[in-house]
Amino acid sequence: MTTTTTTGLREWWWLIVRIVMFDLLLTATTTRWSSMVLADCVMYDVCHVEQSSPMNCRTTNHSVEPRPWNSLSKDAAEKLEYTCPYLLEGNDGLCCSSAQVLAMSKQLRQAASLLERCPSCFDNFQKMWCEFTCSPRQHKFLMILQEVDVPENNVSFVNKVRYNISKEFTDSLYNSCKDVTMTGSSTKAIRLMCGSLKKDEECTIGNWLKFMGTQNHRIGTPLGIEFNIIDGKEAANAGSDYFMTLPTTPCHMSPRYGRPKCSKQDCTSVQVVDLFLKDEGTKEVCQVLGMGCKVFLLFVSLFIFAGVLIFMGFLHLFHSTSTSDSQSDRVDYKSVSTNIGRIRTVGAWIDDQLKYNSEMYGRFAVQHASFVFLFGSFIAMISISGNVFLKFTNNPLEMWSSANSLARQEKQIFEHSFGPFYRVEQIIMYPKSLERVIDGPHGIKMGAVFGKSFIREAFVILSRILGISATMSDGRRVTLDDVCFRPMGHDYDCLIFSPTNYFQQNVSLLNISVDVIVSPSSKTESDDLDYYAEEELIKPEKEKIETRNYLDHIYDCIQNPYNIETSHQHELLGNFWWSDISGARFWRYLGECDYRVHGAYHQYPTQRKIVESQEGNGMGASIHRSHDRL
């Protein structure tokens, strides 16, 4: 009996042990599978630098699980908390390292200068890149399309990916950003982020995403991104969630606590509070002859009141006239003292006084002419003596700020310590021959200012200006490079507005010619009007090769100053930099002009003058100098 009991206890013991071990094994297997399938990162950390652009590592061959946010450096954690605070909620982890967070923050700063005017727009924009870089759900919406091996480091970095993103998110992102304007301009900021568009072409969500996904190390796009827009509702109904979607904030709402909503200028959906309540026609109102009842009653009351006054006036005059006529009849037209009315009496008295005083003053002025002249001159001098304190100025600082204001005091302190607050030197150059003899692209005639010899001479003059130097009292030699205005600091070039910036101050680019393949259209000119045009269609011609030169480059720059790359296959960005990897745009009206008789203004392709402007370190006057030797 004892042996049987002991055997039964052993069997029960082993059964319990097996159940516990199986449960532990099942739990571990399930956890590992979920971490691999539901939480593995597609790319993690930076393992290569390509043309100053950090490239992300591919993690397919060696699975990387999301890391907790406290694994980031202090600086990276602070930037991520400011940029993507929702990613720090919960314990899902992150698929990004400190290097990735810092690189993303640096790239978002470039977009901030354009989109941050509308906090909701910029917040939605940040969400798209926060998910792309750090989301623990990367495997659901990112797919590696191309990777590059680096044998010396035994790593592979991602060169191109596909980003599945919901249509609802992209539409909301575009709607919140489409009306944001650039500071100091009426141009839409989103147009600058759409790449090379025609003059009247609109930036759509497709153009926007395509431009941001085009790999270009010069403008901060380290890898190619193929945006695949998916209808989230249809995909959800089909049971698929392999796309990125997040709640977005409309532009008329605040994205987070403590942040403002967009202004009316950058968001047409913002409702402006009207202090004067207006009837929008939703209520039934009382109207008479198109006027409100209150207004109509007011006019009727005024007419009645005016009518009563006029009637009483006529009645009084009629009564006075009748009384005087009856009294004159009784005395048989003899001259008697009668009451002609108070108004007539006062009028007659005023008339008599004017005649009497004017006669007396005239006699006095004739008899004492010298005294009257001197006395009048004395009164006139006293009246105009205030003009001594009258001061005319055309200085905007004098007109718009008080001499005792804080801004004026700070400006004076700055000028006393460092020199003039703002200086602009301008040089206006024009060729002696003003005939339009240059055949430009698309069959247009361009002005002589676009002649290659003239532009080359402008390069020479600019290089000589940049080489001007002076010797200080202490023997130190100072050049323009030492005193010019540098918007981004001493490590960047001087701010110079000149058409030579179309060529990044490199005169050799004037001689570059590029052959471009052009696909001709088989459509005839009469297609839109001739019903039998189909019979006249000819076989499509072969692709043509056209040569693009410096004139095509200038023409593209003038038509759209936001072009990243022109048909000349060269960049438009100037050689002075606003950020680490993006050049500054040069607007045509800052460097080209055409002053003719009576100030007539003509189109830019016919310009006859070039303006070169060198800015100092503040605000002030502008000096114009002309070079007549060209």
Summarised one tens digit per residue, pLDDT across range 586-597 is: 444 444 444 343
**pLDDT beyond 60 at 260:** yes
Please tell me the distance from the alpha carbon of residue 593 to that of residue 606, in angstroms, as a whole number. 9
pLDDT in tens, 72-116: 899 999 999 999 888 888 777 899 999 999 999 888 888 888 888
Determine the residue type at 386: G
Please tell me the distance from the alpha carbon of residue 288 to that of residue 136, in angstroms, as a whole number. 68
* pLDDT at residue number 428: 81
Shared-domain flag, residues 535 and 617:
no
Which one has a higher pLDDT value, 186 or 370? 370
Span of 353-357, 513-517, 575-579 with lowest mean pLDDT:
575-579
Please tell me the distance from the alpha carbon of residue 276 to that of residue 9, in angstroms, as a whole number. 90
Most confident of 119-133, 170-184, 387-401, 472-486: 119-133
* pLDDT at residue number 518: 62
The whole-angstrom distance between residue 316's C-alpha and the CA centroid of its chain comes to 72
Looking at 237, 258, 290, which one is the last position of a domain?
237
* pLDDT at residue number 542: 63
Residue 143 lies in a domain: yes
Span of 46-60, 99-113, 256-270, 531-545 with lowest mean pLDDT:
531-545
Which one has a higher pLDDT value, 609 or 310? 310
Residues 163, 242 contacting (CB under 8 angstroms): no
**pLDDT beyond 60 at 392:** yes
Three-class SS of 529-554: CCCCHHHHCCCCCCCEEEEECHHHHH
Tell how strand 224-230 and strand 155-166 pair up.
parallel
Determine the residue type at 521: S
Please tell me the distance from the alpha carbon of residue 193 to that of residue 137, in angstroms, as a whole number. 27
**pLDDT beyond 70 at 130:** yes
Residue 411 lies in a domain: no
* pLDDT at residue number 132: 92
* pLDDT at residue number 407: 84
- Report the 10 Å Cβ neighbour count for 99: 16
DSSP code string of 550-619: HHHHHHHHHH-TT-SB-TTSSB---SSBSSSS-BPP--GGGTEE---GGG----GGG--EEEEEEE-SS-
* pLDDT at residue number 520: 55
Q: What is the dihedral of CA 34, 39, 42, 47, to 10 degrees?
A: -120
User: What percent of the chain clears pLDDT 90, i.e. is strictly above it?
Assistant: 8
Shared-domain flag, residues 576 and 520:
no
**pLDDT beyond 90 at 124:** yes
Which one has a higher pLDDT value, 614 or 442? 442
Please tell me the distance from the alpha carbon of residue 511 to that of residue 509, in angstroms, as a whole number. 5
Residues 129, 271 contacting (CB under 8 angstroms): no
Average pLDDT, the chain: 73
pLDDT in tens, 315-346: 766 666 555 555 555 545 455 455 666 677 77
Looking at 237, 257, 283, which one is the last position of a domain?
237
Residue 211 lies in a domain: yes
Please tell me the distance from the alpha carbon of residue 41 to that of residue 136, in angstroms, as a whole number. 6
What's the whole-model pTM score? 0.55
Shared-domain flag, residues 555 and 529:
no
Q: Where does the pLDDT of residue 626 fall: very low under 50, low under 70, confident under 90, or very high at 90 and above?
A: very low
Residue 270 lies in a domain: no
**pLDDT beyond 80 at 412:** yes
The predicted model gives 151-162 an average pLDDT of: 86
CB neighbour list of residue 450: distance below 8 Å, 6 or more residues apart = 438, 440, 551, 554, 605, 607
* pLDDT at residue number 538: 46
Q: Is 469 helix (H, G, I), strand (E, B) or coil?
A: strand
For helices 119-134 and 98-115, angle between their N-to-C axes, nearest 10 degrees: 160
**pLDDT beyond 70 at 411:** yes
Residue with tokens 């005169």: 507
Residues composing the chain: 630
Residues 213, 225 contacting (CB under 8 angstroms): yes
Shared-domain flag, residues 508 and 520:
no
Shared-domain flag, residues 518 and 443:
no
Looking at 237, 260, 286, which one is the last position of a domain?
237
The predicted model gives 494-519 an average pLDDT of: 77
Residue 154 lies in a domain: yes
Determine the residue type at 607: Q
Q: Where does the pLDDT of residue 232 fall: very low under 50, low under 70, confident under 90, or very high at 90 and above?
A: confident
Shared-domain flag, residues 493 and 527:
no
* pLDDT at residue number 165: 92
Q: Which domain holds residue 80?
A: 34-237
Shared-domain flag, residues 143 and 161:
yes
Residue with tokens 């189109």: 603
Shared-domain flag, residues 468 and 531:
no
How does 7-17 read in b/e, with b if 16+ C-beta sit within 10 Å? eeeeeeeeeee
Residue 313 lies in a domain: no
Residue 14 lies in a domain: no
- Report the 10 Å Cβ neighbour count for 449: 25
**pLDDT beyond 90 at 614:** no
Residue 169 lies in a domain: yes
* pLDDT at residue number 581: 32
Residues 45, 73 contacting (CB under 8 angstroms): no
**pLDDT beyond 80 at 452:** yes
* pLDDT at residue number 322: 57
DSSP code string of 24-81: HHHHHHHHHHHHHHHS--SEEEEEEEETTEEEEEE-SSS--PPBPGGGS-HHHHHHHH
Residues 117, 180 contacting (CB under 8 angstroms): yes
Shared-domain flag, residues 539 and 467:
no
**pLDDT beyond 70 at 562:** no
Element (H, E) at 129: helix 119-134
Number of domains in the chain: 3
Structure tokens at 47: 């393992």
Residue 137 vs residues 33, 39, 143: alpha-carbon distances, Å? 15, 6, 12
Please tell me the distance from the alpha carbon of residue 480 to that of residue 478, in angstroms, as a whole number. 7
Please tell me the distance from the alpha carbon of residue 202 to that of residue 271, in angstroms, as a whole number. 26
Shared-domain flag, residues 482 and 431:
yes
Shared-domain flag, residues 441 and 508:
yes
Q: Where does the pLDDT of residue 11 fall: very low under 50, low under 70, confident under 90, or very high at 90 and above?
A: low
Residues 103, 46 contacting (CB under 8 angstroms): yes
Shared-domain flag, residues 533 and 617:
no
Q: Where does the pLDDT of residue 606 fall: very low under 50, low under 70, confident under 90, or very high at 90 and above?
A: very low
